[in-house]
Chain A
Amino acid sequence: MENEAIQNREPFLQNLREKLGIERQPVSAHPFTPINQLPTTQLAEKTPNELLAITKERVAKIRATLVETTKENLGQTLKEWIKNFGGGSVLLPTDERFAAYGLTEFYEGAAFGEAKLTCWQPGNEMRQENLQKAANANIAIAFAEYLLAESGTVVVESSAGQGRSLHFLPKHYLSIIPMSRLVPRSTQPAAYYTKQVASGAATGSAIHFISGPSNSGDIEMQLVVGLHGPLEVCYVVITDC
C-alpha cells in the first residue's frame, strides 16, 4: 500500500533489506517466540489475597492510597474520598458500570455537599466542552480495567464516554477496581489487548497504565509528587466483586 497516507516507504525499506541481506516477508513468516516464560510465571502462583497484599505494599511506595470496600458500600466510600479530596467539581465518565455497581446517585448534575458531579459527554463534537470540564475538575472518578499487583498500576482504556484527559487534567483521581480485575502484572493486560488486536476486536484508541500520582525528579533528583497529572491518587478496591 503506497499511497498518500504512507510516503517514501518502499525505497526506505529496500535500503534496509539490502543492508540486512533479507527478502521482504510478511511478519507471520517469522513469529516471535520468547526464549523464556518469565513474564507469565512471575507472581503466577499467588492467590488473590496475596496479590492484594503485594499491591498494597507497592501502592504505598508509589505514594498512592488504596482503600477496600464492598459493592454495597462503594457509593459511601466514594463520597468520603470526594470529601477527603476537597469536593468541588467531580468529573465522571459516561460509563454503564456506574449503574451496574449501584452508583445511582452518581450522574450529571448530582451534588454531595459542596461537590458537584459532571460527566464526560460522548462524541467528537463535545471535545472542547469535555476538555474544559476536565481542566476545571478537582476530582475525576473512573473504573479501571485492571489492577496490577507488581507495580500498583491501574489500566484504563479510552472510549466514547471516557476521554484520555479525564485521567490527567483533574487534581485528584479516584480509581474503582473490582477485586476480580486484580492480576499479577502488566503481562496480563498486554496479552489481553494483543489478543483483541489479533482478533480485530474494537479497542479504545488509548490504553493507559497509571501507577500513582504524577511525579518528577528533574530538579536535583529530589522527588516531587504532582506535576502535570493528578497530585493525589486513591484506588478503591471492591473486595466482593
Chain B
Amino acid sequence: MGLITSNQSLKERIEASKEDVFMQQAVAKAQDDQWQKREEARAALGNWSQWRELGEQIRQHTIQYLPDYLEEFSDNVAKRGGHVFFAQTAEEAQDYVKHVVLAKKAQKIVKSKSMVTTEVDLDPMLMSLEGVSVMETDLAEFILQLDDWDEPSHIVFPSIHKNREQIRRVFAEKLGYQGDNNPENLARCAREVMRKFFLEAQIGITGCNFAVADSGLINLNTNEGNADLTISIPKTQIVLMGMERIVPSMQEAEVLDNLLARSAVGQNLTTYVTFAGQKNPDEADGPEEFHVVILDNGRSNALGTPFQPVLQCIRCGSCLNVCPVYRHIGGHGYGSIYPGPIGAVLSPVLGGYKQFGDLPYASSLCGACTETCPVKIPLHELLIEHRKVMTDDLKMKHGFEDLQMRVVGKATGTPALFKTAMKVDHASLGLLSKRSGIVVENLYNHGGYLNKGPGLVKGWTDVRDLPRPPKASENFRSWFKKHKAGETDGK
C-alpha cells in the first residue's frame, strides 16, 4: 500500500465515499463523541493555550536541532547494545528489516500499530518471505488484516469505517468465530488468537511515538497493551520511526504524552505509556536484540521551508476529528495513509504534488484544524502555501483552468472591465438560466438559476443551483448608490 492508498482520482474517491453511508455516519459519530471527550479533557487540565505553547516549543526546538538530537539518540541506543539504521527511503528501510528477519530466521512476527510501517509498505514485503507469518496486534489493524488487508481510514481509529456485523462476519469466516457481534465477545476472541501468536513470536515490530535522545529509549502509547507485549516477549525488536519523532528527554516526552492522550482520545494518559529499549543483561524478558530504523522518506523536504512545522505533528488525529471535509469523505477519500488536514499538508511533502496535489484543495479553509492542533501547526495556512507553491512557484496550473483564473484576475483587477462585467452578467447568462415558479426556496433568485454552469462555475452547479445575477439596475452596487446614508428615505 505504502503512502498511496488508491489509484483513483480525488473525484472518483469522493464519489465512492458518497456511496458509503455507514462510513459517513461512523465518522460523524466519532467526530461528535471525540469532540466532547477531547474538550472535557482539555478543560479539566486547564490553561490549555499555554500547554499548546509548551508543546509547540518542544517540537520546534527539537526539529530546529534535529540532527544533533538524532546523533545523541543513536549514540545512546548503541551504548545500550542496540543498532540504528538511518534510511533515506522506504526501500532502504524495508531492506534493513528484511535483512534482520532473514538473519534471525524468524517465522512469526508481531506488529503493534505503526503508521510508518504502512508508509514503507512493510507488511507485503514480510508476507512475501517464505515461511514468515505476520500478525498486526492492534485490534483495529488486526481486523483490517483479517479482512484481506483493508486500508486504514483514521490515524487513531483505523477501522472506523467497519461496523460490528461486518467484523463478526470477517471473524466467522477467517477465525471460525461462532459468537455474536457484541464488541466485547469479538475482542475476547481476538485476545485468544493473538495471545497464542505472541507467545511464539521471534520478532516484534513497533512504531515509536517519541524517541528519547538522552536515554536511547523509545516511548509508546497504547490502550490495549499490545505494544507492551510486542516489546516484552519476542527476542528481537525492530522499531521504525519517522526521523522527526524525537524529544530531548523523558520530561519533554511526558508533556507530549499528556497532550497526545487528551487530544487523541480525551484521556489524561493512555492506559499504557512505556519507555523501553534493549533489555539489560540480567533481565529475563525484553529484546536481546534491538534495532531502530530512522526514516527520512521525504520528510527532509520540509526542513528549511515554510512546511517545516508539519514535522511538529504528534499524530493525535484531532485535526481529522474536527474537519468538515474529513467528516464527509472519510479517510479513504484522501488516497493517502495520512488523511485529514494533516494528511493534506504532509502527503504532498512526502509524495509530491503530482500524486497529492489535489489534497490541499480538499479543504474549506475554516481553520478548525489549526485551532485544535495541540502543537500549533498552522495547518490551513500550510494548505494555502501548498496552493501558492503549485500555482506561483511551480506553475502547475496550465490550460483552460489557468486561462480562466487569468481572466478573472484581469477582470476583478481592472475597474472598467469589472463594471462592464457587472452590467452584462444578467443578460449574458440568460440563455443558460432556467426558471421555475416562485416558492420559499427561491424567493430571492426567482429571476432564474443555473444548474449546469460552464468552467469554473461547474464545481458549484454540480452540487447546488447558482442564482442568475440580478439586472445591473437591481444589483448591490446600484442599490447602494441609491441608498447611501443621508440620501435615502429609508426605503
Q: Which residues of A pack against B, CB within 8 Å?
A: 1, 3-9, 12-17, 19-22, 24-27, 29-32, 34-36, 38-39, 42, 58, 62, 120-124, 126-127, 130-131, 135, 148, 150-153, 158-160, 163-165, 167-169, 185-187, 190-191, 193-194, 197-198, 202, 204-222, 224, 226-230
B296: chain A residues within 8 A (beta carbon): 12, 15
B233: chain A residues within 8 A (beta carbon): 131, 165
Stretch among B60-68, B172-180, B354-362, B449-457 lining the A interface: B60-68
Q: Complex Cα distance A31/B258, Å? A: 22
What are 10 of the A-B contact pairs (CB < 8 Å)? A7-B84, A22-B64, A32-B62, A187-B251, A190-B249, A204-B283, A209-B272, A216-B140, A219-B167, A228-B191
Let me know if A36 and B195 touch, CB within 8 A: no
Q: Complex Cα distance A25/B284, Å? A: 38
Closest B residue to A155 using CB positions? B273
- Known contacts A25-B65, A39-B254, A197-B214, A221 near B33 by CB under 8 Å: yes
Let me know if B304 and A21 touch, CB within 8 A: yes
- Known contacts A1-B75, A135-B199, A227-B190, A17 near B67 by CB under 8 Å: yes
A209: chain B residues within 8 A (beta carbon): 269, 272-274
- Known contacts A36-B53, A214-B223, A159 near B283 by CB under 8 Å: yes
B47: chain A residues within 8 A (beta carbon): 38
Interface size on B, residues (CB 8 A): 112
Let me know if A227 and B187 touch, CB within 8 A: yes
A194: chain B residues within 8 A (beta carbon): 214, 249-251
A27 CB to nearest chain B CB (Å): 5
Let me know if A36 and B50 touch, CB within 8 A: yes
B248 CB to nearest chain A CB (Å): 5
Q: In the complex, which of the residues B88, B249, B280 contacts A204, with contact meaning CB atoms closer than 8 Å?
A: B280
B285: chain A residues within 8 A (beta carbon): 127, 130-131, 163-165
Let me know if B284 and A169 touch, CB within 8 A: no
- Known contacts A6-B78, A32-B58, A20 near B66 by CB under 8 Å: yes
Let me know if B137 and A228 touch, CB within 8 A: yes
B146: chain A residues within 8 A (beta carbon): none
Let me know if A35 and B187 touch, CB within 8 A: no
Closest B residue to A228 using CB positions? B225
Stretch among B157-165, B378-386, B482-490 lining the A interface: B157-165
Q: Complex Cα distance A120/B232, Å? A: 14
Q: Interface code B261-281, partner A: CB below 8 Å = 1, 0 otherwise?
A: 000010111111111111111
B279 CB to nearest chain A CB (Å): 5
- Known contacts A5-B83, A163-B285, A204-B283, A221 near B232 by CB under 8 Å: no
B280: chain A residues within 8 A (beta carbon): 158, 160, 202, 204-205
B284: chain A residues within 8 A (beta carbon): 120-124, 126-127, 130, 160, 163
Let me know if B283 and A197 touch, CB within 8 A: no
Let me know if B26 and A151 touch, CB within 8 A: no
A220 CB to nearest chain B CB (Å): 5
B418 CB to nearest chain A CB (Å): 44
